[in-house]
Structures are given as C-alpha cells and as structure tokens.
C-alpha cells in the first residue's frame, strides 16, 4: 500500500465512524505511524521524484 494511501487511512482513525472509546488510541497510533514511518517515507519519495524529474528534464526534446 502506498504511503499516501496509508496517510489517508491513518488520518481517519481519530474520527467517526471509529467507536468513541477507540478514537484516542487510534489518534495516538496514527500520530506515531505518521512521525516514525509515513512522514520520512513521503519526504524520501518526494525527493526521489524531484531528482528523477530534474535528471530527465529536457531529455524528451
């Protein structure tokens, strides 16, 4: 599953329709996953995309 889809999925853990008693735990879990995995992974992918686009800029001409 891609990191952007995972970010969307985890962002919903602290909101309805998650049961009210589980929302605080879901929010804490989502925050931890975001800080430890998704944030760095999305930044790494963004840097990769930027470098690839810069390396191939003008190559199609």
> Per-residue pLDDT for 60 more than 90?
no
20, HSE (Cβ side, Cα atoms, 13 Å):
0
pTM of the model: 0.77
> Once rounded to an integer, what is the mean pLDDT over residues 21-36?
95
Best CA proximity match to 42, nearest among 11, 1, 2: 2
pLDDT more than 70, % of the chain: 95
Determine the angle formed by the axes of helices 39-55 and 3-11, rounding to 10 degrees. Answer: 150
The share of the chain scoring above pLDDT 90, in percent, equals 87
How many Å apart are CA 14 and CA 41, to the nearest integer?
A: 22
Residue 57's pLDDT is what? 86
Which residues lie closer than 8 Å to 13 by C-beta, 6 or more apart?
Answer: 23, 26, 27, 29, 30
């Amino acid at each position: 599953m891609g990191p952007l889809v995972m970010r969307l999925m985890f962002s919903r853990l602290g909101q309805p329709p998650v049961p009210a008693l589980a929302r605080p735990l879901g929010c804490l879990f989502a925050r931890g996953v975001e800080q430890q995995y998704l944030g760095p992974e999305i930044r790494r992918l963004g840097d990769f995309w930027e470098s690839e686009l810069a390396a191939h800029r003008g190559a199609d001409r």
